Amino acid sequence: MYAGIGMTLQDAFARDYREVAAYYNVDVSQGLSEAEAAQARNKYGRNELEPEQSTPLWKLILKQFDDLLVKILMAAAAVDFVIAMTEGDSILSGLVEPMVIMLILVANGALGM
């Protein structure tokens, strides 16, 4: 401890640089020698952040469709597809509405990423 100050590596950022230098026995004008730097690296580790875990693309895509309104629209499109297939009218004209709903959902998912 330095002059009764309980300093840890975690709270060194909140201290004056002279206190931290004195606590760690570092000459601010010269810095650390190669041997001191290697010893500090062995003791404290490298001065770098750990890489962030990336989320897979398929999870990001599925997350876009994990919404109640989107699920309702998907169900409506499915019902509309079934109705279009069972009606005696032209199948092509019956598929317009469900296709529009699906295109809107795909666009919503693409823009949300």
The tens digit of pLDDT for each residue in 14-41 reads 888 888 888 878 888 988 889 988 988 8
Work out the pLDDT band at 3, boundaries 50, 70, 90. Answer: very low
pLDDT at 1: 43
DSSP H helices, the chain, are: 17-23, 34-44, 57-64, 68-86, 91-94, 96-112
**Is the pLDDT score of 4 beyond 60?**
no
pLDDT at 9: 62
pLDDT at 7: 60
Span 67-72, mean pLDDT?
A: 90
Distance CA 21, CA 28 (A): 7
Distance CA 70, CA 64 (A): 9
